[in-house]
Amino acid sequence: MANVTKEKLDRLYEAYKNGTLSRRQFLKYLGLAGATIGLVGSPFGNAVKEAWAAESIRFDGWGGVVSEAFREHAFKPFTKATGIKVIDGEFGGMDSYLTRVKASFPPGGEFNIAHLSAVFDYARYAELGFASVLDESKIPNLKNVMASMIKPLRDITKGTLSAVPYDLGQTGIAYNTKEISKEKAEKLGASLLWDKGLKGKLGSWGGDHRTNMWYAALHTGQSPNNMTDLKAIWAALREQRSLMKKYWSSGAELMSLLANGEIYATVAWSGRVAALQQEGHPIGYLSPKGTYSWMEYLFVLKGTDLEIAQKLLNFMLEPAAAIAVAEGQNYPPSLDPTKVKLTEKIKKMPAFDPTGKLDGYLFANPAYWNANQVAWTEKWDRIKAGS
Amino acid sequence: MRPKSWKPWALLAPSMSAVFLLLVIPLCFVVVYSFWLRAPSGADIPAFQFGNYAKFFEDFFYPKILIRTIRISFETVILCVFMGYIPAYFFYRSESRYKKAFLLLIMLPFWVSFIIRTMSWINIMGDSGLINHFLLKIGLIQSPISMLYNEFTVLMGLIMYLLPFMVLNIYVSLEGIDKSLLEAARCMGCTEWQAFREVTLPLSLPGVSAGCLLVFVLTAGTYLPPMILGGPGNEMIANLIFKRIVGTLDWPFGSAISVILLSLLFVIVWTYNRYLGINQIFKSLQGN
């Protein structure tokens, strides 16, 4: 198309130069051509084409191996089966994604479905008015999902659902097995992240105060959902900072630091550790008592075409698709193991619960963490920066 | 005949509209936001109060990061001047037929994504990177030397990003110097060094100062090198703004920090203009 347009413009310019076309006409045609290119050519062309497309939906996820699993095992088969295109976006963190959602116009309008992490995030999105109300009768595969994962959502959105649970995972501790023995890691537990012998070889997730405070609570012998001695938490985090090499900011950076031996121990997302182990890296995974567990959801933002969204969610909850995605991203699915037969690979994943009840799993209490988010984030930022 | 006064405005209209739409209006939004309040959920509450500015100065934490930013910016400028003048002078004096190719090499880094260029240092200076691998291989060290994630690597990332701006500014300024002036100086008994010191250097200063200003302003506003190559304690003010706006959804406070940074840069540019003259930049771009 570009060549044809260029040829036409060349002819137009030639006519103008030859005097067979008036300046007014030339400018009129030029303006029309510009408008046409603006609408159908790049860079806006794709957006316009997508808007013109019969049916499409935007999905934002965590990127890397996680998005790759969704793309391969859910979106491509869905598009093939229904003709509906899934526009696949990525984000690096929950807060940064929420910023983009807030900044869109109308707020949330550009976004449809997001792979959100943890119930506190579901609560935040609902509080900000981004929650939709799903018609559960259009998502029959929801019956296969663990009731223990659905209940916390219903409690927040007063009996309705704005999301479907999709997977669960843990933020445990990853360690280099060449440098740290399994015995030492298990003996120290959360305190491995405060081992002075690892000075300059420790890492942590810089973008999340919760994860860091959670492990500081375990290290200081407190309950992460009821920290009674915050001074001890801050002191522990300050002490840990002096041992740190790098506060990483994304899953890809976490994997790179561990794989290249830049750091020997760090808090880490269980699925990313599994991916490293599958690639043959000498990385062990430790989940001490009270390990930070989380559930992930496919959240449908207000204003989304619910017919399409529900169709996609139901497709993604089909056992075949959910199992394939789970194996791809290395996080157990939300499917109830007592109702759906899962694979051996899934049964070996960290955070997998064969009972489907999730008893004994420690999740962040949304009310507790959200109520203190502003103050604690700021405090964490200061400690991280050396204050 | 009096020229039609609307013509220059009509010609300027597209660029002025772009500046107005893409710079002035967003800047106004940032200023307005800086007076707003933030709800715990992340929602913004319209207000007119100076709490966000007061918060910045209430203790030394935020000013310390601002001071660190200014210090790193000055260090980057000084290093870029020394590292940039030599290649620029070399290109100026070179009679080689490959001169254009050399100049192209200066532009080459711009063809590769800034993030990729910054990340590539991890593969060079990392514990399992090229340098450590080589040193281990030849037996000079027994275990990898930790070179990454400190202020030195941040400076290195900044220089890699900004050096071409300095080289090009100085080169354009040097290129404008009439070479016969140098010949005249030599004829009058100057040594090569004296001719450089008395003629070339003073005449190239507009380019140097233009490069300094550009490098300083760009350094003060960059956040990728500290984020990728910095360790704990190497944060710069742009990282703080990024964290406040994108990380914690605190747009009002992030906007207030942005306005403070902008004001500081304005003061620096004003001072520069007062003593050196902003027109030096245009002079250097025109090759004097």
Range ranked top by mean pLDDT from A109-113, A266-270, B8-12: A266-270
Q: Is A273 left (phi over 0), alpha (psi -120 to 50) or beta?
A: alpha
Q: Is B129 on the interface with A (CB under 8 A)?
A: yes
Residue B35 has pLDDT above 80, yes or no: yes
Q: Shortest Cα distance from B5 to chain A (angstroms)?
A: 21
Query: Tokens representing B269?
Result: 């540019």
DSSP secondary structure letters along B121-146: HHHHHSTTSHHHHHHHHTTS-SS---
Measure the CA–CA gap between A287 and A85, rounded to whole angstroms. 39
Q: Does any domain span residue B2?
A: no
Residue bearing tokens 């046409």 = A36
A188, burial (CB in 10 Å: exposed 0-12, middle 13-18, buried 19+):
buried
DSSP A340: S
Chain A nearest C-alpha distance from B63 (Å): 12
> What crossing angle do the helices spanning B151-175 and B99-107 adopt, rounded to 10°?
140
Q: To which H or E segment does residue A269 belong?
A: strand A265-269
Mean pLDDT score across all residues of chain B: 88
- The pair of structure tokens assigned to B33 is 């936001």
Please tell me what DSSP assigns to residue B199: I
CB contact under 8 A, B126 and A260: yes
Q: How far is A268 from chain B (nearest CA, A)?
A: 18
A235 interfaces chain B, CB cutoff of 8 Å: no
Give the HSE-up count for residue A178: Cα atoms under 13 Å, Cβ half-sphere: 10
- Please give the residue range of the domain that contains residue B108: 56-285
Handedness of CA A52, A53, A56, A59 (dihedral sign): negative
pLDDT value of position A252: 81
Q: Which of A51-55, A75-79, A175-179, B171-175 has the lowest mean pLDDT?
A: A51-55
Whichever domain contains B98, its CATH number is 1.10.3720.10
The per-residue pLDDT for A41 is 42
Q: Is A99 on the interface with B (CB under 8 A)?
A: yes
Task: Please state, for a pLDDT cut of 70, what percent of chain A lies above it.
Answer: 85
**Percentage, residues of chain B above pLDDT 70:** 93
Q: Over 80: is that where the pLDDT of B283 sits?
A: no
As separate numbers, helices (DSSP H) first and strands (DSSP E) second, chain B gives: 15, 2
Q: Does B245 touch chain A (CB under 8 A)?
A: yes
pLDDT at A308 over 50: yes
Q: Is B24 among the domain residues?
A: no
- Tell me, what's the pLDDT at A25? 56
Tokens read off for A37: 């290119």
Nearest CA in chain A to B42: A128
User: How many CA atoms does the CB half-sphere of A307 hold within 13 Å?
Assistant: 4
Residue B4 in any domain: the answer is no
User: Contact A374/B248, CB-based, under 8 Å?
Assistant: yes
Q: How many residue pairs bridge chain A and chain B with CB atoms within 8 Å of each other?
A: 75
Min Cα–Cα distance to chain B from A71, Å: 24
pLDDT score, position A159: 94
Nearest to A95 among B65, B144, B248 (CB): B248
- Among partner residues A102, A261, A378, which is closest to B128 by beta-carbon distance? A261
Cβ <8 Å between B246 and A378: no
Read off the pLDDT of each residue in B252-276 and give the average, rounded to a whole number.
Answer: 90
Please classify residue B180 by burial: count the beta carbons closer than 10 Å to its beta carbon, then call 0-12 exposed, 13-18 middle and 19+ buried: exposed
Whether B23 maps to a domain, the answer reads: no
Q: Has residue B3 got a pLDDT over 70? A: no
Answer yes or no: is B107 within a domain.
Answer: yes
Domain count, chain B: 1
Grade residue A97 by pLDDT with cuts at 50, 70 and 90.
Answer: confident
Could B249 and A244 be called an inter-chain contact, meaning their C-beta atoms sit closer than 8 Å? no
**Predicted confidence (pLDDT) per residue in B60-110, tens digit:** 889 999 999 999 999 999 999 999 999 999 999 888 888 888 888 888 888
Choose the most confident range, by mean pLDDT, from A59-68, A332-341, B114-123, B231-240.
A332-341
Q: Give the list of residues 6+ apart from residue A183 with CB closer than 8 angstroms, or none.
A: none
Note which residues in 82-121 of chain B have CB less than 8 A from chain A. Answer: none
- Say whether A347 sits in a helix, a strand or coil: helix
B120-148: average pLDDT: 90
pLDDT given at position A258 = 95
From A124, A207, A260, residue closest to B42, measured CB to CB: A124
Distance from CA of B253 to the nearest CA of A (A): 11
Residues in chain B with CB shorter than 8 Å from the CB of A244 are 231-232
User: A238 — contact with chain B (CB < 8 Å)?
Assistant: no
Least CB-CB distance to A262: which of B41, B127, B249? B127
Give the minimum alpha-carbon distance from A139 to chain B in angstroms, rounded to a whole number: 30
Contact A356, A337 (CB under 8 A): yes
Mean pLDDT of A175-183: 96
